[in-house]
Amino acid sequence: MNKVKMVEFAQHGDDRGHLVIAEGNKDIPFDIKRVFYIYGSAADVVRGQHANRESEFVLINVAGKSKVKVKDGEGNEAIYCLNRPHTGIYLPTMVWKDMYDFTPDSVLLVLASTHYNPDEYIRDYDEFVSEIKGGWGEGR
C-alpha cells in the first residue's frame, strides 16, 4: 500500500495554454506499453473492481474528476481524488482498485506497464485476499 503514490508531472504552460509531460521510465515509474482512457461513465458507476498480478498503472484525470479507492487486501484502504491534469496516481501490482464518482466531463487516462492480458486480472475480491495472504509470487 505504501507503494501507491501521487505523481506530479512537469507543466509547460504559457499564454497559449497548458502542456503536461509524462515520460516513461522518468515521470512514470515503468516503460509504458499500453494507454487507455475511460469517459462517459455515469456518477453512480463503479469501474475497475479488480487487482492485477502483473500490471502497474498510472491514472490521470486529464479532464473532469473521479475517485479511486485502493485496498491492499490486508484491511488497509485509501481514497484518492483525481482532479488535476498534471497529477496522477501510481498503482503497483496486487492492489484492489475501484474507480467511481465520475463527473460528466471525466476523461480518465490510464498508462499501463503491460500489454492487455485478461489472465493477469483478479476480478474476485476473496480470491485477491487469498492470493495476498498466500504470499502470491513466492511460490511461482
Residue range at the interface with ligand TYD (CB under 6 A); choices 14-22, 23-31, 34-42, 73-81: 34-42
Q: DSSP states of 66-134 as a string? A: EEEEEE-SSS-EEEEEE--TTEEEEE-SS-EEEEE---TT-EEEEEESS---GGGEE--HHHHHHHHHT
Selected from 116, 124, 133, 134, the binder of ligand TYD by CB under 6 A is 116
Residues 6+ away with beta carbon under 8 Å from 2: none
- Residue 1: CB atoms within 10 A of its CB come to 14
Closer residue to ligand TYD in complex, CB, 3/34? 34
Residues 6+ away with beta carbon under 8 Å from 103: 43, 64, 65, 66
Confirm or reject binding of residue 117 to ligand TYD (CB under 6 A): no
Confirm or reject binding of residue 76 to ligand TYD (CB under 6 A): no
Concerning whether 115 is annotated as a catalytic residue, the answer is: no
Confirm or reject binding of residue 33 to ligand TYD (CB under 6 A): no
Q: Which of residues 35-64 bind ligand TYD (CB under 6 A)?
A: 36, 38, 47-48
Residue range at the interface with ligand TYD (CB under 6 A); choices 23-31, 33-41, 67-75, 130-138: 33-41
Dihedrals phi, psi of 136, to nearest 5 degrees: -50, 140
Confirm or reject binding of residue 68 to ligand TYD (CB under 6 A): no
Which residues are designated catalytic?
50
Footprint of ligand TYD on this chain (CB under 6 A)?
34, 36, 38, 47-48, 116
